[in-house]
């Protein structure tokens, strides 16, 4: 009897261990065509609200000096407020997005839109509340372009 209980107990433990769980690297596949691969969970996620994914299409290096990344946002996801000392250009690939500069009008973004962000202009970009969104980010005026991350975009500001 005692032995049987032990067997059941061990079986339960093994079942628990072998049950697949959602790992931290699990990603949700975007339901829109991201054109380029969606990439991994954004390693800069702490500067964003909601889940985003990053695929560096051209890494920062001394040969090209042209960092280009593909960023995919889940609905409602957005960057914190931030600025780029060398500016940034966004090329919208798919979905519906949002862009806003400090004290500026909210801009609705669609496929094919281009956003040119001048150096040191405080701004944020992200997805619409009910749509996935993908844009290419081009860092300009490299290699001396640094990003200064600031406070999150509150729900009030986002709406
Ligand atoms: Mn930016």
Ligand 1 center to residue 130 CA distance, Å? 21
Ligand 1 center to residue 29 CA distance, Å? 23
- Whether residue 48 is predicted with pLDDT greater than 60 in this model: the reply is yes
Ligand 1 center to residue 23 CA distance, Å? 29
Residue 26 pLDDT: 78
Q: Which has the closest alpha carbon to 126: 74, 54, 83? A: 74
Contact 135, 109 (CB under 8 A): yes
Residue 23 pLDDT: 52
Beta bridge partners of 89: 116, 138
Q: How far apart are CA 90 and CA 73, in angstroms?
A: 14
| Count of Cβ atoms closer than 10 Å to residue 150 Cβ | 14
Ligand 1 center to residue 3 CA distance, Å? 63
Q: How far apart are CA 42 and CA 53, in angstroms?
A: 5
At 14-40, the pLDDT tens digits run: 444 444 445 556 789 999 999 999 999
Q: How far apart are CA 141 and CA 30, in angstroms?
A: 31
Give the rounded percent of residues in the chain with a pLDDT score beyond 70.
84
Contact 83, 147 (CB under 8 A): yes
Ligand 1 center to residue 64 CA distance, Å? 20
Q: How far apart are CA 154 and CA 97, in angstroms?
A: 16
Ligand 1 center to residue 83 CA distance, Å? 6
| Count of Cβ atoms closer than 10 Å to residue 94 Cβ | 19
Read off the pTM.
0.84
At 49-65, the pLDDT tens digits run: 999 999 999 999 999 99
- Whether residue 102 is predicted with pLDDT greater than 80 in this model: the reply is yes
Q: How far apart are CA 96 and CA 112, in angstroms?
A: 11
Residue of higher predicted confidence among 116 and 26? 116
Q: How far apart are CA 150 and CA 83, in angstroms?
A: 8
At 134-159, the pLDDT tens digits run: 999 999 999 999 999 999 999 999 98
**Mean pLDDT for the chain overall:** 90
At 67-88, the pLDDT tens digits run: 999 999 999 999 999 999 999 9
């Amino acid at each position: 009897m005692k032995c049987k209980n032990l067997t059941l107990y061990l079986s339960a433990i093994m079942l628990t261990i072998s049950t697949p769980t959602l790992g931290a690297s699990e990603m949700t596949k975007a339901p829109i065509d991201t054109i380029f691969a969606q990439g991994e969970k954004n390693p800069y996620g702490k500067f964003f609200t909601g889940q985003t994914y990053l695929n560096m299409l051209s890494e920062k290096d001394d040969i090209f000096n042209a960092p280009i990344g593909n960023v995919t946002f889940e609905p409602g996801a957005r960057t914190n407020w931030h600025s780029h000392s060398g500016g940034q250009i966004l090329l919208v690939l798919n979905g519906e997005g949002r862009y806003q500069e400090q004290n500026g009008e909210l801009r609705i973004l669609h496929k094919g839109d281009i956003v040119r962000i001048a150096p040191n202009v405080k701004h944020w970009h992200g997805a619409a509340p009910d749509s996935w969104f993908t844009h290419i980010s081009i860092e300009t005026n490299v290699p001396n372009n640094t990003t200064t991350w600031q406070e999150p975009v509150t729900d009030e500001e986002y709406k």
